[in-house]
Chains A and B, each alone.
Chain A
């Protein structure tokens, strides 16, 4: 298990390899469909300091407000491939060092990771409660009114968030490897 503290430098990220298990701590930002579209179509200057050398988390959390403070109740990863058209551009534009989600991403994102020095991190889908517990504090929320709570950009402080590197900064993909190996096994089973 490798520990990643955010903000993280490019060299550390480039040293990660497909299959590495990591534990992440520090400040990251959630973003899904509406947020990615927004970051592409607007200057989104307010996002620069938040995202530089940090991580985007594909997540639509269940949240609650207690005594004026936001809390994450259940917050596992959502399917990443929907952001494939945007992700590489967002990584380059905001110098993001990683993206956490589930299900993997495509060749455009892999090329973006290679070019800009970033990785795709696969969280365990369905870990709603555990990941919410690893969110120690909600620092801020952007576009809450406009996008609604699952689509808003939540600035969160996490501790020991577990994930697996499945696309590294060499452009290698665990998803491609497993898909090819299982295709061979399928061929044998179907004779």
Chain B
């Protein structure tokens, strides 16, 4: 028995509340560890402690961790008993309700008229990525990507002469470190990098975004990618930009890399810079309509 629409909308509102008014455990743990590592009494340590206090207060009062509740990016995997259009309807209804409950700020602005729709619904908003699967049930993941960090995200085309970056993993390393330097603290460092290698301009960016659904403590199954992720995390932190660009040891909390086949003529490296307020959560509904959150 698939889940009733009304119950589904309630579950998605709860998904949004959990995502927007808190932070995933792995991200909180990474920030707590970083706060310990920073020099005692430094600006960097104080900033990270303020971040941790803010997250605790947001969770306690169900108020947004950050007032920029971001672009809403949903990833939906659905079994054969579900159809896309009703699922989209349920997600939109939940976004309206979550905005009315102030879990979300009205964040959908028409680029032509400048008018804010007032409920987070608009052309292409929220973004929903649907994947059909054989297994019954439903998995809905939500990522909230703030505007400040989106503005420092970017895309490089290899080769890049000025950076001495060729079409290989060393070239990737060079452009990613350049991007971290360019961002300074402006993306609300410490950041998490989602990186997409290859693809076309569009799919490369999509792959980069999808990497941000990964837990910080997972390990890339591809050993070459795992090694590059670890190296970029270490070297990014060696830049010394620190939380908010105040200086310090913690510039990045994580680096996650994915790949897509490219045409021979193109080699894109897309970098989705996520602020420390990396808000994501997931909802699972099994074949009997029983919901669980993580």
Contact = CB atoms under 8 A, between A and B. Distances in A.
A186 to B, nearest CB: 5
Given A148-B116, A182-B181, A127 B241 contact: no
B201 interface: no
A174 B44 CA distance: 13
Interface in A106-140: 122, 124-133
A79 B53 CA distance: 22
A116 to B, nearest CB: 25
B184 interface: yes
B148 interface: yes
B61 A129 contact: yes
A58 B181 CA distance: 24
Most chain A beta-carbon contacts within 10 A, residue among B148, B178, B244: B244
Given A19-B43, A185-B238, A102 B58 contact: no
A33 to B, nearest CB: 11
Given A62-B67, A182-B240, A73 B102 contact: yes
Contacts of A125: 66, 148, 188, 244, 275
Contact of A62 (B53, B105, B148): B105
A131 to B, nearest CB: 8
Taking each of A126, A162, A178, which has the highest tally of chain B beta carbons within 10 Å of its own beta carbon? A126
Interface string B236-247: 001111111111
A128 B66 contact: yes
A189 B235 contact: yes
B277 interface: yes
Interface string B162-177: 0110000000001001
Contacts of B164: 190
